[in-house]
Chains A and B, each alone.
Chain A
């Protein structure tokens, strides 16, 4: 349904080009839920903004050769007037911070009715009724009265529900959720994730979930892409990625966070060093300065290593090779944690 090919997005700054997204290809199937995992600066948000054509150009620049095809239409060079028929209607997006994404001086009803009238051509009365139904669908009590409220009169979780109601108003084919729960408390996060899951089931919407939290994608997605420094490090089905991670960065991420489902280690494994500098990208694999498995050939960008089915890791090293592991352990790498190992044994 959505096919992104060799997407490159650079930002022009006084100091030079920032390579925010640097050659990313992936696809989203009908009804599928895809997770994009990465830390700040990995390019995950710029990727989603490019799909929505919401990047400010300049300073952003989508480089030649990039392609984003949605239902047979190329979005990269689409006229803005055409794009408006897709944005909100076919592809909708929810953002991290619902307070800054909602208009503070308009009632929730005005903001909900806008997409209904614009995209679906509903009359005022029809739109009002539909708006109330939408608020009820996202679990906001007393919907009729709440329609007349302003965003600041809602709590953070409720605001995020309003955003979701607006996003699904025109029954989009694809919902892009960019860190939808990062600003929320855990108990509210659980509510919102459950809501997104339920809507996906009921409406058959495809979901692209962008997050830094591996825990969130574990329960929410069918397939995952791990991004690092504007590039894809590894991609696999969700079960496969957690059971059989093959990129040293994925391995590092999985063991660098303390986890409730594991024995408590005396000391956490760290990923040494700092996040990459996208202004001065290094030759070859961007993870090499922090990687315990690093080899001389990492100075060249690694080819795709096909593991099984759609599982691909961009790494020169076979991290399951005992010799490579021994070498990495001398550099302080601790192989998969206890539960990881028992999990592997079971599956």
Chain B
């Protein structure tokens, strides 16, 4: 598929995945016989992203921000309303039939809840073999051999091959889900909150495993999470979403030490830190109120209803997502130069250890 002219983003050449102006609106209909659209849930409302080959992009946001919807659009669990999703030069947003199947082979997904994402009637061997059977990657014996290798790879005992998912703990199940995701050697993996459902002591095991697999297989990750400390650990580049749009994108250290959007700043200041001394001296930005409805998105900047520094212009003009520093640090805020003063006193950034 030909790439439309003029849409090249910065570093587009080495980007494996490029999302351009992605829009996913879920229609709300009324009427029994004649369904009439009366509105739309604007889950994703014009998002552009790119992920470099072999890298991880962290996509952060709270519930209702649309971060999971982006992931689901990329694997085409949803058909996007408009926009493009380029994997190299194939546009996943419009792919269908054989082409879609071919593209899906290169993109896999790991879900949040390993209790829900593994079919309880399949054995471990069956679960991991299924993607290989669908994509016909080998004979029965070859696939079985490969399943055993995959079990080794994710740190599970080969003996478990004929057991069922219910016999395993959450962490072990997530290992199985990962084995299944890498079974057909995809290039791109969407990990949607892969450690959020796991116990604290197990999270580190899974994060380390994902990192090791990335190094070994050259995987590219889109790591979707609400947990800023986890994302900082795994992703060298981070995008912050709010109500269907990207608010800020930047390299890891930049966004944590010098956030240029008040929402990122508020998110960072809200993360509890396991250090009583830090907690006592921190100044939190407590956001007012709740997330507005994605059906009626506020005009102007969509964050203005909860923003501590909103001005008149914010209620009228939507700020573009643009580079604010010349070093590929993008933010969608009219007053990004004032964000620093919000957090100076005793916030995470104020620690000076990053």
- In the bound complex, how far is the Cα of B210 from the Cα of A268, in angstroms? 12
Contact B232 A258 (CB under 8 A): yes
Q: Type the 1/0 row for A230-241, where 1 means its CB is closer than 8 Å to any CB of B.
A: 000000001100
Query: Do A216 and B272 touch (CB < 8 A)?
Result: yes
Q: Which residues of A contact B353 (CB under 8 A)?
A: 261-263, 339
Does residue A150 face the partner (Cβ distance < 8 Å to B)? Answer: no
Q: B284 touching A39 by the CB < 8 A rule?
A: no
For residue B242, give the distance in angstroms from its CB to the closest CB of chain A: 10
Number of contact residues on A: which range applies? 35 or more
A186 touches B226 (CB 8 A): yes
Which chain B residues (244-303) contact chain A, with CB distance < 8 Å? 256, 266-280, 282, 284, 286-287, 290-291
Q: Is A308 an interface residue (CB 8 A)?
A: no
Asked whether, in the complex, the Cβ of A214 is within 8 Å of the Cβ of B171, the reply is no
| Proximity string of chain A (253-279) to chain B, C-beta cutoff 8 Å, 1 when within and 0 when not | 110111111111001111110110000
**10 nearest A-B residue pairs (beta carbon):** A215-B272, A219-B279, A258-B233, A185-B62, A268-B204, A190-B270, A271-B201, A214-B274, A39-B199, A256-B204
* A205 CB to nearest chain B CB (Å): 20
List 9 additional contacts besides A187-B286, A257-B203, A260-B271; criterion CB under 8 Å: A40-B199, A191-B286, A218-B274, A219-B282, A258-B232, A263-B353, A269-B204, A274-B171, A275-B169
The interface residues of chain B lying within 8 Å CB-to-CB of A155 are: 290-291
Do B199 and A257 have beta carbons less than 8 Å apart? no
Contacts of B268 on A, CB cut-off 8 Å? 260
Interface centre among B269, B274, B354 (most CB of A within 10 A): B274
Closest-CB distance, B110 to chain A (whole angstroms): 18
Which residues on A sit within 8 Å (CB–CB) of B207?
258, 268
B317 close to chain A: CB less than 8 A: no
Contacts of B282 in A (CB 8 A): 219
A259–B208 CB distance below 8 A: no
Chosen A-B contacts, 25 in total, with CB atoms closer than 8 Å, are A157-B290, A186-B62, A186-B271, A187-B270, A187-B286, A187-B287, A188-B62, A194-B286, A215-B272, A218-B273, A218-B278, A218-B279, A238-B276, A256-B200, A257-B204, A258-B232, A259-B273, A259-B275, A260-B256, A261-B278, A263-B353, A263-B354, A269-B204, A270-B208, A272-B205
Closest to B211 in A: A267
Q: Could you tell me the distance between the alpha carbons of A201 and B102 in the complex, rounded to whole angstroms?
A: 61
Evaluate contact between A187 and B62: CB separation under 8 angstroms.
Answer: yes
Closest CB of chain A to B288's CB: distance in Å? 9
| A324 CB-CB contact with B under 8 Å | no
A249 nearest CB neighbor, chain B only: B201
Contact A185–B63 (Cβ < 8 Å): yes
Flag if B270 contacts A242 (CB, 8 Å): no
Inter-subunit contact B203/A256 (CB<8 Å): yes
- The residues of A that contact B279 with a CB separation of less than 8 Å are 215, 218-219
B217 at interface by CB-CB < 8 Å: no
Please judge, given known A-B contacts A261-B348, A270-B205, whether A213 and B272 are in contact too, CB under 8 Å: yes
Which of B204, B205, B228, B286 has a CB less than 8 Å from the CB of A260? B228
Please give, as numbers and ranges, the residues of chain A lying within 8 Å of B351 by CB-CB distance: 261
Q: Which residue of B lies closest to A290 (CB)?
A: B201
Q: Interface residues of B: mostly helix, strand, loop or mixed?
A: helix
From residue 331 to 345 of chain A, which have CB atoms closer than 8 A to chain B?
339, 343
Residue on B with the closest CB to A268? B204
User: B336-354 toward A: CB 8 Å interface, digit per residue (1/0)?
Assistant: 0000000000001001011
CA distance A249 to B298 in the complex (A): 47
Considering the chains assembled together, what is the distance between the CA atoms of A192 and B188 in angstroms?
38
CB-CB nearest in chain A for B61: A185
Complex contact B202–A219 (CB within 8 A): no
A328 to chain B, nearest CB (A): 16
Q: How far is the CB of B312 from chain A (nearest CB, A)?
A: 23
Q: How far does the alpha carbon of A343 sit from the alpha carbon of B273 in the complex, in Å?
A: 14
Contacting pair A158 B226 (CB below 8 A): no
- Tell me whether A270 and B204 are in contact (CB under 8 A): yes
The answer to whether B274 and A215 touch across the interface, beta carbons within 8 angstroms, is: yes
A247 close to chain B: CB less than 8 A: no
Q: Are B208 and A274 in contact (CB under 8 A)?
A: no
A19 an interface residue at 8 Å Cβ cutoff? Answer: no
CA distance in complex: A186, B272 (Å): 8
Chain B nearest CB from A292 CB (Å) reads: 13
A33-53 interface code vs B (CB 8 A; 1 in, 0 out)? 000000110000000000000
With an 8 A cutoff between CB atoms, is B29 at the interface? Answer: no
Structural contact, A194 and B284, CB atoms closer than 8 A: yes
Type the 1/0 row for A178-200, where 1 means its CB is closer than 8 Å to any CB of B: 00000001111111011000000
Give complex CA distance A256, B226 in Å.
Answer: 18
